[in-house]
Structure 1
Amino acid sequence: MSKTIFSLLFVLAAAPAALAQQPAPAQQTIVLKPGQMQVQANPAANRPDRAPVYPGGAQALGLFFLEHIKYPEAARVKQLSGTVLVTATVNADGSVTNPVVAKSLSPECDAEALRVVPLLTGWQPAMRRGRPLPVLIQLPVPFGGAGEIKIEQTGRKPGE
């Protein structure tokens, strides 16, 4: 009997600790990719049916960065190479606002990425049920050859 009472007291003493709320896990950012989107029967109110698209796609985005990024001198001296991951909002009008560095490379490169990202205009906004919708995106901004575009030249002419 005493063994049963002891077990019951032990279970009751441990119950509040087991029932205590665990901290909520950090919410991960959802990365929307154009080829992996699909219309849902009962989607959340803020989930788009179509992801935002930069005019000309990824290649045009890479060219934009090559033309507009000024590689910081301090990063050049340190021979830094890599990407700064920036989160920003693509608004319903196709503009980009609220850039924030999600993954840093260096303070100089971070500042340059934050300068360049708002210059990305003309996006086709995300759509939900035929209406434009502002969404959060992640952009990798390349520095120091991390985003070099390699063009392979062949002896063939287009259309051959």
Structure 2
Amino acid sequence: MKYHLLFILLLATCGSAAVAQRRPPNVRGPVVMRADQMRPQLKPGENRPDVAPAYPGGQPALSQFIQENAKTPPAMQEQQKSGVVFTSFTVGEDGRLSNVKVDKGFSPECDAEALRVLGLMPAWKPATRKGKPVPVDVTLAVPFGGSANLIIEKGKVKYE
């Protein structure tokens, strides 16, 4: 009886060790901060800011700036197409945007328009780490087209 119990215990220990060896290592990619998903962390890493960068006036002001300045190319208006251009840039220590690029484009005209709008953007409030400004990479989506089909109701966007 003792040997059976000892054998079962030994088998369980070896089985859990084999499962632990099969797991892939926890590998993480680079840290990318998105404007709509930034939250303070309780224990930020050495390379992460304590306070995220912010557009002057917050998210509503950023959305309004993009809506007022981004013009849908005429070719897209004729075809009644809509899409999103995903851009990325670095908010520097002084709050100015640099390294502006298109990560995932929609059309060459929309890509160029998104880069033009980001060039018009005022300086952001920079991210800080331990009270000092630090540069941070930000990803931002710039929507195009389809605004004739949008109805804004109680702060929500609905498509018809």
Q: Shared fold by TM > 0.5?
A: yes
Q: 1:110 corresponds to which residue?
A: 111
Q: 1:40 corresponds to which residue?
A: 43
Q: 1:69 corresponds to which residue?
A: 70
Q: 1:151 to 1:95 in 2, by over 3 A?
A: farther
RMSD: 2.4
Gaps of 5+ in 2: 1-26, 156-160
What secondary structure sits across from 2:29 in the alignment? coil
Q: How does 1:114-125 map to 2 (within 5 A)?
A: 114-125=115-126
Asked whether the 8 Å contact 1:92–1:134 carries over to 2, the reply is yes
* Structure with the bigger percentage of strand: 2
Asked whether the 8 Å contact 1:75–1:108 carries over to 2, the reply is no
1:19-52 Cα offsets, whole Å, 9 max, x none, are: xxxxxx8935522533x221427x22x3211110
What secondary structure sits across from 1:67 in the alignment? helix
Counterpart amino acid of residue 40 in structure 1: K
Q: 1:93 to 1:151 in 2, by over 3 A?
A: farther
Task: Give TM-score, length-normalised by structure 2.
Answer: 0.68
Q: How does 1:4-153 map to 2 (within 5 A)?
A: 27=29, 29-32=31-34, 33-34=37-38, 36-40=39-43, 43-44=45-46, 46-145=47-146, 150-152=152-154
How many residues align? The count is 125
Asked whether the 8 Å contact 1:95–1:118 carries over to 2, the reply is no
What secondary structure sits across from 1:38 in the alignment? coil
| Cα shift at 1:57 | 1.3
| Cα shift at 1:104 | 1.1
| Cα shift at 1:145 | 3.2
Task: Give TM-score, length-normalised by structure 1.
Answer: 0.68
Q: Percent identity?
A: 45
What secondary structure sits across from 2:152 in the alignment? coil
What secondary structure sits across from 1:150 in the alignment? strand
1:94-125 Cα offsets, whole Å, 9 max, x none, are: 11122111111111100100111122213111
